[in-house]
C-alpha cells in the first residue's frame, strides 16, 4: 500500500493534482447548490436547473479527470484522441450529471439511491472512457483497484442522493461528490500501467488541445460558479421581497406557523408562533434547526432533559407523517393546541398551531350538558339510555330501579324551588352513596331518578329497600327540616328485549307502587302491561262516555221513619260500556279522580240530578256525592249554581254528600267550601260516618246538616254489641246537635225495626228500594259519579 502511494505521488505533478482537487471541490459545491435550487424553484423552471446540474456535474468530473491526467507521468508525452475525449465528456454529462439532476425531485429514497448508484457508475465509466482516449500507450488495469474505486464512487453518490433532505446539506454533498470523483480517479489510476507503443509518435499539439479542453471546462465551471452566485443573490433579493409580503400576512394570522425546510431548519415563522412559545417578538429563529428551537424553548421554560427528549420524539413523529395530519397537543400551561402538520412537496414541513382551548372547553361543556344533569351532576336520561344499551349487547344482568319522590311537590310549593333544588342534590348524594362504584345513578327529570343495580333480584330488592329507607330520613336545609319519601319500580333485563322496553316496564312497576300506597317497591311481573293498557283504554273511553249516552243516573230512595214517606233520592252514576258491559263505579271512579275527569263528570251529575228531580214537582230532595277532587276545584260553586239555575230546582232540595275521609285531607279548605255551599241554601251530608278519623271532632268543626251512618254498622248491629253501641251513641249525639241522621244499607225488616227503636230519622237500602233510573233516555252533557 505504501509503495502504491509513493508510486502514485511519483507519477503525478502536485500542482496539477491540487488544481484538479480545487476544480472538483468547486464542482461539488456547485452541484449541491444546483440540486437544492432545482427542488425549491417553480415547477415550470425545473428543467433548466436539471440541465444545468447535469452539465456542471458532468464537466466537473471530466475536468477533474483530465487536469489530473495533464500532471500524470511527466516522463511520458501522452496524446489524446479528440473524438474519444469529447465522448467521455458526453458520458459524464449523461450518466453522472443527469441522475444527479433528477435525484432531488424523487420523493422515494430508494429511487434516489438508485440514481446515485448510476451516477457513481457513471464517474467510473467517464474515467475509463477518458483513459481509452490516450494514444500510443498500452493500458493495463488492476481489477482490484478498479473494483475498490468503483465501490467508493457508488457508495458516496448513493449516500449523497439517498440522504434525507434535512441532512443533505451543501457541505455534505460537496464532500461526498469530491470523495467519489477523487477516489475513483486516484485509486483507479494507482492500479493502471502505461507502456509506450514502439514506433508510435505522440505529437505535442495533442497535449495542447487537451489543455485547451480542460481549460475550457474549468472556465465553464467557474463561469457556472459566477452565474450561480448571481442567481443566488437574485433569489435572495426576490426572497427578501417575498418575505416582506409574507411577513405582513403571517404576522396577521390568528394561528401560529413555522416552516421547516428539507434540512430541518426554520425558514418561516410568524408573530403568533412566537407568542405561543413565549419568545420575544424580536427573536430571530430563521436558520435554526428544530433541535435548537427545542433547546431555546426548554431553556425559557425550565424544561428537564426528559421533557426535552419528549419534545424531540414528538417532533420526529410529526416529521414522519406522509399526509396532512391534525393532532391535539396539550401545552404545559394547560392550553390545548390543534397542530396541523403538512408535508411540503420536495421536502420540508409546515406546522400550524391553533389555540382551541375555548373550543374544546365548549365541546366538553356541551358533552356534559348532553349527558349530565346540571343540577345534581348525575347522569341524565340520555346517558342512562346509552349505558343500558351498552350493557344489553353483550347482555349483562342488571336491574333498573325507577325512583319517584313522594311529597316533593309540596316542598316546592311551600318553600320555593331553591329549597327543592337543594333537596334534590341531597337525594342525589344519598343515591350515589347507595349505588357505590359499580352502580349507576341518573336523574330523568323533575323528581324522578333511576338506578342500575348489577346482580340478582335479591340484591336489587335489598338496594330498593335501602333507597326507600335512606330517602325517608330527615333533610336539613338551612333552618328547614324536611321529610319526604319515595316509590320504587324494578325491572330486570331478563324481562325486556331492549333498553326502551326495560324503562317502560320499570315505569309500570313504579305506577303499581304508587297505586298501592307509595313508600314501597314493586317488581315488574308479566300482566302489568295488560292491566295498564286496559286502564288507559278505560280512561280514553270515559272521555266520551257521557256524550255517547253510555252513562246515566240511578236513584235510590230515602225513607223518613217518622211517617214512612220517601223524602228524597240519592243520585248514583252508572256506566254501560258497549263492549265491557256494566262497569262498577268502584272501578272507573278512581280512574276519573286520578285523571281529573271527575270534575266535568261531576258537573254533569249535578245538572242531570237536579233536572230529573225538578220534574217530580214536590219537596223531595236529591243527594249527590261529590268527590274530594271536586271539592278542591274552584269550579264546584259554579257547577252548583248552574245546575240549580238551569233546572229550576230550589237550593233546599239539593244535598251534597262528602265522605268523612275526604274531610281529613284538607280540613280548613273543606270547611270554607262547606260554608259557601250552605250559604247557597244547599244542605250538606257527611257520608260513611264512623269509618274515618276523629268523627266526633268533625261533627263539632264542620257545618253539616245530615249524618249518613256507614252500612257496616247497620249490618252488624243486631249481633255485635259494639256496633249497636256506636249506632246508639251517634244517634244520641246527632239529636243533641240537631243534625239529622240517616242509616245506609238497610236490607231486612229487623234492621228497620232496630233503627226505629233507637230513634234514627231516615233509612236507605235495598229494603226500601234499589237504585233505578227515572228514565232511560240519555243526556248529551258532562256529568258525575259515585262509589256505589
**What is the predicted pLDDT for the residue at 221?**
55
CA dihedral of residues 388, 394, 397, 403 (deg, nearest 10): 0
Cell 333537596 belongs to 423
Give the pLDDT mean for 429-438.
Answer: 89
DSSP labels for 101-118? HHGGG-S-HHHHHHHHHH
- pLDDT, residue 780, reads 33
pLDDT confidence tier of residue 632, bands split at 50, 70 and 90:
confident
Rounded (10°) angle between helices 585-595 and 598-614: 120
Q: Is the pLDDT of residue 201 over 70?
A: no
- Stretch among 171-175, 657-661, 698-702, 746-750 having the lowest mean pLDDT: 698-702
What average pLDDT does range 574-594 have in this prediction?
Answer: 88
CB count, 10 Å around CB of 765?
A: 23
Average pLDDT, the chain: 81
Is the predicted pLDDT of residue 684 greater than 70, yes or no? yes
- Of residues 110 and 322, more confidence is placed in 110
Q: What is the pLDDT of residue 236?
A: 53
Residue 120 has pLDDT above 90, yes or no: no
Residue 621 has pLDDT above 90, yes or no: yes
pLDDT at site 4: 55
Specify the pLDDT at position 242: 61
Q: Which three cell numbers stand for residue 437?
A: 362504584
Q: What percent of the chain has pLDDT over 90?
A: 19
Q: How far apart are CA 369 and CA 374, in angstroms?
A: 7
For the beta carbon of residue 143, count every other beta carbon within 10 angstroms.
8
Is the pLDDT at 203 greater than 50? The verdict is no
pLDDT for position 89: 81
Of 223-227, 539-543, 679-683, the poorest mean pLDDT is in 223-227
* pLDDT of 1 strictly over 60: no
What is the structure's pLDDT at 446?
87
Q: What is the model's pLDDT at position 45? A: 67
Contacts 24+ apart (CB under 8 A), 323-331: 328/356, 328/360, 329/353, 331/276
- The yes-or-no verdict on residue 746 having pLDDT over 80 is yes
Residue 273, pLDDT score: 81
Domains of the chain by start residue, with CATH: 2-223 (no CATH), 253-360 (3.30.450.20), 372-526 (3.30.70.270), 542-764 (3.20.20.450)
Query: Is the model's pLDDT at 70 over the cut of 50?
Result: yes
Give 353-402 pLDDT, tens digit per residue.
888 888 888 887 877 778 888 888 888 889 888 888 888 866 667 888 99
Can you point out the beta strands (E) in 383-439? 398-406
Sequence-separated (6 or more) residues with CB below 8 Å from residue 16: 67, 68, 70, 71, 72
Q: Are 137 and 194 in contact (CB under 8 A)?
A: yes
181: closest CA among 147, 134, 149? 149
- Say yes or no to pLDDT of 537 above 90: no
DSSP 8-state class, residue 525: -
Whether 75 has a pLDDT exceeding 60, the answer reads: yes
Q: Is the pLDDT of residue 218 over 60?
A: no
Q: What is the pLDDT of residues 496-518, one digit of tens each?
A: 788 888 888 888 888 888 877 77
Q: What share of the chain is helix, strand, coil (3-state, %, to 5)?
A: 55, 20, 25
Could you tell me the three cell numbers for 436?
A: 357505590
**pLDDT for the residue numbered 777:** 41
Characterize 453-486 residue by residue with b for buried, 16 or more Cβ atoms within 10 angstroms of its Cβ, and e for exposed. beeeeeebbebbeebbeebeeebebeeeebebbb
pLDDT at 749: 92
Q: What is the pLDDT of residues 253-306, one digit of tens each?
A: 778 888 888 777 887 888 888 888 888 877 788 778 888 888 888 888 888 888
Integer-rounded Cα Rg, in Å, for the chain is 54
pLDDT, tens digit (0-9, with 9 covering 90-100), for 689-740:
766 554 566 666 677 889 898 888 898 888 888 888 888 888 888 888 888 9
Residues 6+ apart with CB under 8 A from 11: 72, 73, 189
Provide the percentage of residues in the chain whose pLDDT is more than 70.
Answer: 85
Answer yes or no: is pLDDT of 162 > 60.
yes
C-alpha cell at 167: 441532512
Look at residue 130 and tell me whether its pLDDT is greater than 90. no
Least confident of 436-440, 548-552, 570-574, 777-781: 777-781
pLDDT grade for 323, boundaries at 50, 70 and 90? confident
Summarize the confidence of residues 624-630 as an average pLDDT. 89
Cell of 661: 275521609
| Mean pLDDT within 30-50 | 75
What pLDDT score does 787 carry? 35
Q: What is the pLDDT of residue 306?
A: 86
For 48, residues 6+ apart whose C-beta sits below 8 A from its C-beta are none
Who wins on pLDDT, 172 or 786?
A: 172
Confidence of residue 603 (pLDDT cuts 50, 70, 90): very high
Predicted confidence (pLDDT) at residue 167 exceeds the cutoff of 60: yes
What was the pLDDT predicted at 226? Answer: 52
Amino acid at each position: 500500500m505504501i509503495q502504491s502511494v509513493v508510486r502514485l505521488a511519483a507519477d503525478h505533478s502536485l500542482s496539477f493534482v491540487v488544481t484538479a482537487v480545487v476544480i472538483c471541490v468547486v464542482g461539488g459545491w456547485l452541484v449541491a447548490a444546483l440540486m437544492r435550487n432545482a427542488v425549491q424553484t417553480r415547477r415550470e423552471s425545473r428543467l433548466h436547473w436539471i440541465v444545468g446540474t447535469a452539465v456542471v456535474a458532468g464537466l466537473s468530473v471530466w475536468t477533474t479527470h483530465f487536469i489530473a491526467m495533464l500532471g500524470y507521468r511527466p516522463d511520458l508525452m501522452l496524446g489524446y484522441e479528440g473524438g474519444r475525449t469529447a465522448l467521455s465528456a458526453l458520458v459524464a454529462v449523461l450518466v453522472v450529471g443527469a441522475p444527479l439532476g433528477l435525484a432531488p425531485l424523487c420523493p422515494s429514497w430508494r429511487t434516489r439511491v438508485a440514481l446515485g448508484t448510476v451516477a457513481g457508475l457513471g464517474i467510473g465509466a467517464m474515467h475509463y472512457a477518458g483513459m481509452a482516449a490516450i494514444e500510443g500507450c498500452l493500458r493495463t488495469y488492476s481489477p482490484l483497484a478498479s473494483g475498490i474505486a468503483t465501490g467508493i464512487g457508488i457508495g458516496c453518490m448513493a449516500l449523497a442522493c439517498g440522504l434525507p433532505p434535512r441532512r443533505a446539506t451543501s457541505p455534505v454533498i460537496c464532500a461526498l461528490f469530491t470523495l467519489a470523483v477523487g477516489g475513483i480517479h486516484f485509486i483507479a489510476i494507482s492500479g493502471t500501467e502505461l507502456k509506450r507503443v514502439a514506433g508510435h509518435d505522440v505529437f505535442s499539439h495533442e497535449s495542447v488541445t487537451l489543455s485547451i479542453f480542460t481549460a475550457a471546462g474549468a472556465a465553464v465551471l467557474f463561469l457556472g460558479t459566477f452565474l450561480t452566485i448571481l442567481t443566488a443573490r437574485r433569489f435572495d433579493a426576490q426572497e427578501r421581497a417575498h418575505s416582506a409580503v409574507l411577513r405582513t400576512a403571517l404576522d396577521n394570522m390568528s394561528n401560529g406557523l413555522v416552516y421547516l425546510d428539507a434540512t430541518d431548519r426554520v425558514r418561516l415563522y410568524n408573530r403568533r408562533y412566537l407568542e405561543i412559545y413565549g419568545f420575544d417578538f424580536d427573536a430571530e429563529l430563521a436558520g435554526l434547526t428544530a433541535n435548537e428551537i427545542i433547546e431555546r424553548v426548554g431553556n425559557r421554560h425550565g424544561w428537564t432533559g426528559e421533557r426535552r427528549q419528549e419534545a424531540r420524539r414528538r417532533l420526529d413523529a410529526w416529521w414522519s407523517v406522509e399526509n396532512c395530519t391534525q393532532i391535539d397537543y396539550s401545552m404545559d400551561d394547560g392550553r390545548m393546541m390543534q397542530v396541523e402538520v403538512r408535508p411540503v412537496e420536495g421536502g420540508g414541513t409546515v406546522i400550524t398551531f391553533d389555540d382551541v382551548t375555548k373550543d374544546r372547553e365548549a365541546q366538553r361543556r356541551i358533552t356534559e350538558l348532553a349527558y349530565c344533569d346540571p343540577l345534581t351532576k348525575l347522569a341524565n336520561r340520555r346517558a342512562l339510555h346509552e349505558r343500558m344499551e351498552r350493557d344489553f349487547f353483550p347482555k349483562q344482568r342488571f336491574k333498573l330501579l325507577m325512583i319517584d319522590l313522594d311529597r316533593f311537590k309540596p316542598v316546592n310549593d311551600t318553600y320555593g324551588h331553591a329549597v327543592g333544588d337543594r333537596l334534590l342534590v341531597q337525594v342525589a348524594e344519598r343515591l350515589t352513596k347507595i349505588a357505590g362504584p359499580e352502580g349507576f345513578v341518573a336523574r330523568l327529570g323533575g323528581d324522578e331518578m333511576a338506578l342500575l343495580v348489577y346482580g340478582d333480584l335479591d340484591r336489587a330488592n335489598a338496594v330498593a329497600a335501602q333507597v326507600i329507607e335512606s330517602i325517608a330520613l330527615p333533610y336539613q336545609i338551612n333552618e328547614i327540616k324536611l321529610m319526604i319519601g319515595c316509590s320504587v319500580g324494578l325491572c330486570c333485563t331478563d324481562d325486556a328485549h331492549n333498553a326502551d322496553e326495560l324503562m317502560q316496564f320499570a315505569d309500570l312497576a313504579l305506577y303499581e307502587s304508587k297505586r298501592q300506597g307509595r313508600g314501597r317497591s314493586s317488581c315488574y311481573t308479566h300482566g302489568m302491561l295488560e292491566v295498564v293498557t286496559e286502564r288507559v283504554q278505560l280512561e280514553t273511553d270515559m272521555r266520551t262516555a257521557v256524550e255517547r249516552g253510555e252513562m246515566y243516573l240511578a236513584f235510590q230512595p230515602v225513607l223518613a221513619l217518622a211517617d214512612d214517606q220517601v223524602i228524597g233520592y240519592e243520585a248514583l252514576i252508572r256506566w254501560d260500556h258497549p263492549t265491557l258491559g256494566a262497569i262498577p263505579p268502584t272501578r272507573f271512579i278512581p280512574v276519573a279522580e286520578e285523571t281529573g275527569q271527575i270534575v266535568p263528570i261531576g258537573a254533569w251529575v249535578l245538572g242531570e240530578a237536579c233536572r230529573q228531580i225538578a220534574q217530580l214537582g214536590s219537596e223531595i230532595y236529591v243527594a249527590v256525592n261529590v268527590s274530594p277532587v271536586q271539592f278542591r276545584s274552584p269550579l264546584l260553586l259554579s257547577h252548583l249554581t248552574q245546575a240549580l239555575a238551569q233546572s229550576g230546582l230550589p237550593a233546599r232540595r239539593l244535598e251534597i254528600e262528602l265522605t268523612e275521609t275526604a274531610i281529613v285531607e284538607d280540613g280548613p279548605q273543606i270547611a270554607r267550601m262547606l260554608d259557601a255551599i250552605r250559604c247557597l241554601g244547599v244542605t250538606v251530608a257527611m257520608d260513611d260516618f264512623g269509618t274515618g278519623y276523629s268523627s266526633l271532632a268533625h261533627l263539632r268543626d264542620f257545618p253539616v246538616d245530615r249524618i249518613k251512618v256507614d252500612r257496616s254498622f247497620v249490618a252488624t248491629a243486631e249481633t255485635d254489641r259494639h256496633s249497636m253501641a256506636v249506632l246508639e251513641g251517634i244517634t244520641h249525639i246527632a239529636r243533641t246537635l240537631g243534625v239529622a241522621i240517616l242509616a245506609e244499607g238497610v236490607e231486612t225488616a229487623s234492621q228497620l225495626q232496630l233503627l226505629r227503636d233507637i230513634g234514627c230519622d231516615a233509612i236507605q237500602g235495598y229494603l226500601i228500594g234499589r237504585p233505578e233510573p227515572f228514565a232511560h233516555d240519555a243526556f248529551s252533557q258532562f256529568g258525575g259519579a259515585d262509589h256505589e
